[in-house]
Amino acid sequence: MNKHLSNGILRKYSQSTTNNIPKISSTLILSRLPVITTELSKFEKLFYKYQEELWRRLMWTFPKWFYFNQGTLAELRYKQLNKGSMSYDPKILYPRGIPDLKQGRDRRFRQYIKAPKPYKEIDELSQEQIKEIEEQKLKNNGEELINKDDLTRKIIPNQRVTKADLNKDDKSLERRLERTLYLIIKVNDSWILPTFENEKNSTSLHELAESGLYKIGGDKINYYNVSRIPCHVKESNNNKEYFIKSHILSGIYEPQDKKNDYKWLTKEELKTYLPNFNEIEHLFSEV
């Protein structure tokens, strides 16, 4: 009897709140993590340069006898490239101070070592050779002739700036490789983070975000959900948006409705697109 009564009260109490049950929706912060390291500032570059020079200056002498056996061809090649400094002669005047040689190294300075290699650096080439290479480049669509099967070939790293950067393509996942990119979509002429409404209030927030993403962007997306726990809540007029974070790992976002526009933007660029940016600024990565 008592139990029934309390149940009734509970039901009555909960029914009274049904009128203003907030609409729950989950908002997806889909990010593409940086592919390359961040661009260093000028100060950082100079500081690292300074530290490296100090470190090189205080390094031990290179133990040549350990790496090159005496009398071998390899030692001969090493010797041809690395001519030892002049030893001290009392008859000579030394304006930069008396040399202090030990194991063929002047202990006052850092030791520069050249390793034998099958190609020459630009500063080692003569003017004619440089001309020849440039002519070859012109013939070969601006690229140097390199045998890609050669294991001892010169290593040329890929460009940090991609084609998407040069074309200013906002929709490419290959733009701004050094920064985290976030997906925003255009709904009713305003840019928003993709938001999905929870109709029955029964599916969990992260599953709702997943199914919603597949619905608007196709299922060719490989993503990793960071956590099931929402990272932010935004309340407005009986609406509650819970933010879920995910990383896109591979695949492509293809809008299923061709009218829907989308963009991959960095934190700074989001500022001009999202109206409530100041509220959620801390959710986006600086890098």
Partner 1 sequence: MFSKSTILNTNNTFKVLVRYKRTKGSGEVNAATQKIVNQLSVLSASRKQPKLLNLCNEDLIKHKTIMNAWNLFKSKKNLKREEQLRKQYESMKNAMEDLKNTNKHLYKLANSKPNKKEVDLFPIEMRIPTDYPPTIPWIYSYKPRK
What span, in angstroms and rounded, lies between the C-alpha atoms of 174 and 253?
13
Q: What is the sign, positive or negative, of the torsion defined by CA atoms of 235, 237, 238, 243?
A: negative
- What are the distances in angstroms from CA 132 to CA 123, 136, 145, 268? 15, 6, 11, 45
What span, in angstroms and rounded, lies between the C-alpha atoms of 31 and 194?
12
Supply the minimum distance, in Å, between the C-beta of residue 157 and partner 1. Answer: 4
* Nearest alpha-carbon partner for 114 in 67, 157, 79: 79
Residues lying near partner 1 in the complex (CB under 8 A): 21-22, 24, 33-38, 43-44, 47, 50, 54, 57-61, 63, 65-66, 100, 102-103, 105, 107-108, 110, 157-160, 162, 173-174, 177-178, 198, 201-202, 204-206, 219-222, 224-225, 228-233, 235, 240, 242-243, 247, 249-252, 282-283, 286
Supply the minimum distance, in Å, between the C-beta of residue 211 and partner 1. Answer: 13
Decide whether 186 or 203 has the Cβ nearer to partner 1. Answer: 203
Decide whether 272 or 278 has the Cβ nearer to partner 1. Answer: 278
Supply the minimum distance, in Å, between the C-beta of residue 97 and partner 1. Answer: 10
Decide whether 130 or 249 has the Cβ nearer to partner 1. Answer: 249
Q: The tokens of 75 are what? A: 């030692």
Decide whether 139 or 163 has the Cβ nearer to partner 1. Answer: 163
Residue given tokens 């992260």 in the structure block: 206
